[in-house]
């Protein structure tokens, strides 16, 4: 039966190798416990076993993110975040699992191109056997949206401007590298150990050339993807054929600034999707929250403009 060997730190901070085994019922367990006279924990997925023994940072439809230690030669220990792709289960078909794996590999490839103070760093990817793992920079401050909701009015306007500036620097770098993020939002900006903004979550990101090729192949049949969050989409991304560019990222950046000055709350919190889409297409965007500096209001109003003609 299949088995996986993982390197972990024990209670004495020593590096040890542990074997994760799969029994005849396709349940995973720690190999060192197989001779135990007591019942041992068993799990249908490797990710569930790791969740039982390690820190879970986040959970998604197709992957979980855990806190771990990366032992970088010669003797450096780095706290990292490890994204693990879910394996197939009775509730998830083969095609769905394959698409999740392909998306994770695409995201890992995309992240490997970028090194910048305001873009999340990737250390590597393990894809020689399932599950697929992406090892990346750990940001103890969590995501910006949660931070804004937690701290609320305690965050001064100057600090909110710094959040916006650092995110803008990260996005400018990505655009210079011909990367269209397509999912820029406060929830996808992380706060590093040094308090810096880090652009993260490249699951929907594309290179400019890839987008142009997709437009040529799909033409008028290009339908909006349900994965892409409606409130952050630009008007041209809600029409057929859909259009994504650096300009649509800039539009999303303005929506993120709305979040930043609204304590993490999204625009149109209770409106139905159809009404929101209509408002965006007509460029009928909500006014910036009270307390937003006039310069920021002016900047956002210049972004949320409908091109004449």
Based on the fold, state whether residues 173 and 286 are members of the same structural domain. yes
Highest averaged pLDDT of the listed ranges 9-23, 95-109, 131-145, 244-258: 244-258
Residues 196, 167 within the same domain:
yes
Q: Is the pLDDT of residue 23 over 90?
A: no
pLDDT computed for residue 223 by the predictor: 44
**Count of domains in the chain?**
2
Residue 258: inside a domain:
yes
Position 72 scores a pLDDT of: 86
- Share the mean pLDDT of the chain: 86
The C-alpha atoms of residue 48 and residue 77 are separated, in whole angstroms, by: 25
* Residue 181 placed within a domain: yes
| CATH code assigned at 181 | 1.10.510.10
Residues 80 and 157 in one domain: no
pLDDT of residue 25: 87
What pLDDT, on the 0 to 100 scale, is given for residue 303? Answer: 98
Q: Is the pLDDT of residue 294 over 60?
A: yes
Helix (H) / strand (E) element for 29: namely: strand 28-30
Are 103 and 227 within one domain?
no
Are residues 202 and 57 located together in one domain of the fold? no
- The answer on 185 and 53 residing in a single domain is no
Highest mean pLDDT among 154-163, 196-205, 228-237: 154-163
Who wins on pLDDT, 29 or 153? 153
Average pLDDT over residues 10-33: 79
Query: Does the pLDDT at position 10 exceed 70?
Result: no
Assess whether pLDDT exceeds 90 at residue 262. Answer: yes
Report d(CA 244, CA 215) in Å as an integer.
Answer: 10
- The secondary structure of residue 62, as a DSSP letter, is S
Q: For residue 168, is it left (φ>0), alpha (ψ between -120 and 50) or beta? A: alpha
Do both 159 and 288 map to the same domain?
Answer: yes
pLDDT at 111: 93
Taking only the tens place, the pLDDT of each residue in 125-163 is 988 777 888 999 999 999 999 999 999 999 999 999 999
Q: Which candidate in 75, 128, 143, 183 is catalytic?
A: 183
Q: Is residue 309 assigned to a domain? A: no
Q: How far is CA 228 from CA 26, 37, 61, 78, in A?
A: 35, 50, 14, 33
136 contacts 81 by C-beta, under 8 angstroms: yes
Q: Which helix (H) or strand (E) holds 3?
A: strand 3-9
**Catalytic status, residue 23:** no
Q: Are residues 76 and 173 located together in one domain of the fold? A: no
Burial zone of 73 (CB within 10 Å; 0-12 exposed, 13-18 middle, 19+ buried) = exposed
Q: How far is CA 93 from the centre of its chain?
A: 23
Range of the domain at 11: 3-135
CA triple 259-83-70, angle to 5 deg = 115
pLDDT given for residue 92 in this prediction = 57
Q: Whole-prediction pTM value?
A: 0.78
């Amino acid at each position: 039966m299949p088995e996986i060997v993982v390197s972990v730190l024990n209670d004495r901070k020593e590096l040890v190798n542990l074997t994760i085994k799969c029994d005849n019922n396709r349940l995973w367990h720690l190999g060192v416990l197989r001779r135990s006279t007591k019942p041992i924990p068993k799990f249908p997925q490797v990710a569930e076993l790791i969740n039982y023994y390690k820190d879970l940072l986040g959970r998604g439809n197709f992957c979980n993110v855990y806190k771990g230690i990366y032992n970088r030669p010669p003797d450096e220990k780095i706290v990292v975040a490890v994204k693990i792709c879910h394996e197939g289960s009775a509730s998830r078909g083969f095609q769905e699992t394959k698409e999740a794996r392909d998306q994770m590999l695409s995201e890992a490839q995309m992240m490997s191109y970028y090194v910048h103070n305001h873009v999340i760093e990737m250390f590597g990817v393990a894809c020689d056997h399932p599950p697929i793992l992406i090892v990346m920079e750990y940001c103890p401050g969590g995501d910006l949206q949660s931070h804004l909701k937690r701290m609320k009015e305690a965050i001064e306007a100057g600090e909110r401007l710094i959040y916006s500036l650092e995110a803008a620097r990260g996005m400018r770098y990505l655009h210079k590298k011909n990367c269209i993020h397509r999912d820029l939002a406060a929830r996808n900006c992380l706060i590093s150990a040094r308090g810096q903004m880090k652009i993260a979550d490249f699951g929907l990101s594309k290179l400019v050339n890839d987008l142009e090729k997709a437009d040529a192949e799909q033409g008028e049949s290009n339908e909006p993807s349900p994965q892409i969050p409606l409130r952050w989409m630009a008007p041209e991304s809600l029409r057929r054929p859909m259009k994504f560019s650096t300009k649509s990222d800039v539009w999303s950046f303005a929506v993120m600034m709305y979040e930043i000055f609204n304590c993490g709350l999204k625009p149109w919190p209770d409106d139905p999707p159809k009404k929101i889409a209509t408002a965006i297409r007509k460029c009928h965007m909500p006014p910036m929250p009270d307390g937003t500096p006039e310069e920021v209001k002016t900047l956002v109003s210049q972004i949320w403009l409908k091109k004449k003609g």
